[in-house]
């Protein structure tokens, strides 16, 4: 029986020593995953004329060098929303698009303590990983090279990590189309996780990039700017795409690539939240704040406070 060794990922375009921080994979022609495993997944979409990077991750390594090495085309950024884990690398780029409801939020300083709070979460995750990996090697054998948790990049100082505000150069609205040459991405405004959340639909190829609206759990609906009612409406809208979507790509956790059936499942789950029929357990989010978690078959939802329903 073979045990997976702790080695760096095989990259499709080596961008120097920090590239080992990323898991880089081709998902299908013209679509690449640039993941920070355990943290956030960014996606590079390449057309005949230009390429877009959907989110720039935490900003702890040079995602621009990786994306440029893969695309070979003029490159710009589309942020699926303004949160720091999707915009941390924005400072490396000149052209940044975001939904107009997120532009002012993107330019604001991050809340005090956010950066260090996330680095503490990262320290805990890396510490916990050793025990998880040992159990997997002994019993379960689920971990693959692309799901290995990486140590922080060489030369990166977690004590100096900061979330840098950035400025949008393009404002997006629902229904806008991004023509990359031979490939078009349509903007779908899907508020709920945040007021500016969007998904990107490649209708011709049957691909949906779900931002933080669609995830394999937990879906964060407990934040100050979150709105469960809006979330339910957004997910029900996305569920209507099910027959025309082959693959759903999500921004968090290890189940990056999902069937379109996930869309209806999530919409049904949010309707249970609104109806007060969901069951909850106590949990905490990545920064340690207490939440209530509603668990479903292929995802879960974090909500704040007394969300009704049944405690389990």
Topology adopted by domain 21-111+160-311 = Metallo-beta-lactamase; Chain A (3.60.15)
Instruction: Convert the pLDDT of each residue in 262-300 to its tens digit.
Output: 999 999 999 999 999 999 999 999 999 999 999 999 999
- Contact assessment for residue 164 and residue 91, using Cβ atoms and an 8 Å cutoff: yes
Pick out the chain residues at pLDDT < 70.
1-19, 306-312
Q: Residue 273 is encoded by which pair of tokens?
A: 């939240």
| Crossing angle of the two packed helices 261-275 and 228-239, in degrees rounded to 10 | 150
Q: Residue 225 is encoded by which pair of tokens?
A: 């700017």
- Whether the full predicted model's pTM is greater than 0.85, yes or no, is yes
Measured between alpha carbons, how far is residue 16 from residues 40, 61, 63, 66, 215 in Å? 20, 10, 11, 9, 31
Q: Considering the chain, what is the average pLDDT of its residues?
A: 92
Q: Residue 112 is encoded by which pair of tokens?
A: 């005090």
Cα gap 203→214, rounded to integer Å = 17
Q: What is the reported pLDDT for 43?
A: 98
> Which one-letter DSSP state was computed for residue 292?
E
Q: What is the reported pLDDT for 19?
A: 61
Cα gap 243→64, rounded to integer Å = 34
Q: What is the reported pLDDT for 312?
A: 37
Q: What is the reported pLDDT for 160?
A: 97
Q: What is the reported pLDDT for 217?
A: 86
Work out the number of other CB atoms within 10 angstroms of the CB of residue 93.
Answer: 17
> Which one-letter DSSP state was computed for residue 136?
I
Write the CB contacts of 238 (distance below 8 Å, at least 6 apart in sequence): 188, 190, 199, 208, 210, 213, 214, 263, 266, 267
Instruction: Convert the pLDDT of each residue in 80-123 to its tens digit.
Output: 999 999 999 999 999 999 999 999 999 999 999 999 999 999 99
């Amino acid at each position: 029986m073979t045990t997976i060794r702790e080695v760096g990922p095989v990259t499709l375009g080596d961008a120097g020593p920090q590239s080992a921080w990323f898991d880089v994979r081709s998902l299908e022609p013209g679509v690449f995953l640039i993941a920070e495993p355990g943290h956030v997944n960014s996606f590079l979409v390449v057309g005949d004329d230009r390429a877009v990077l959907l989110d720039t991750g935490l900003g702890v390594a040079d995602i621009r060098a990786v994306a440029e090495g893969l695309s070979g085309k003029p490159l710009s950024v589309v942020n699926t929303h303004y949160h720091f884990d999707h915009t941390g690398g924005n400072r490396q780029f000149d052209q940044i698009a975001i939904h107009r409801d997120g532009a002012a939020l993107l330019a604001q300083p991050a809340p005090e303590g956010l950066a260090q709070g996330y680095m503490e979460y990262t320290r805990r995750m890396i510490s916990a990983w050793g025990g998880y990996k040992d159990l997997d090697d002994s019993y379960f054998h689920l971990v693959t090279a692309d799901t290995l948790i990486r140590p922080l990049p060489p030369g990166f100082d977690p004590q100096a990590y900061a979330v840098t505000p950035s400025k949008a150069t393009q404002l997006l609205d629902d229904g806008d189309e991004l023509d990359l040459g031979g490939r078009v991405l349509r903007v779908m405004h899907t508020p709920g996780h945040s007021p500016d959340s969007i998904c990107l639909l490649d209708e011709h190829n049957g691909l949906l990039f779900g931002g933080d609206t669609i995830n394999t759990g937990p879906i964060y609906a407990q934040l100050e700017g979150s709105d469960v009612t809006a979330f339910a409406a957004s997910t029900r809208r996305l569920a209507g795409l099910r027959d025309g979507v082959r693959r759903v790509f999500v921004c968090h956790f290890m189940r990056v690539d999902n069937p379109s059936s996930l869309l209806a499942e999530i919409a049904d789950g949010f309707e249970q939240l609104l109806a007060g029929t969901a069951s909850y357990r106590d949990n905490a989010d990545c920064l340690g704040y207490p939440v209530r978690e509603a668990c479903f078959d292929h995802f879960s939802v974090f909500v704040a406070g007394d969300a009704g329903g049944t405690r389990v």
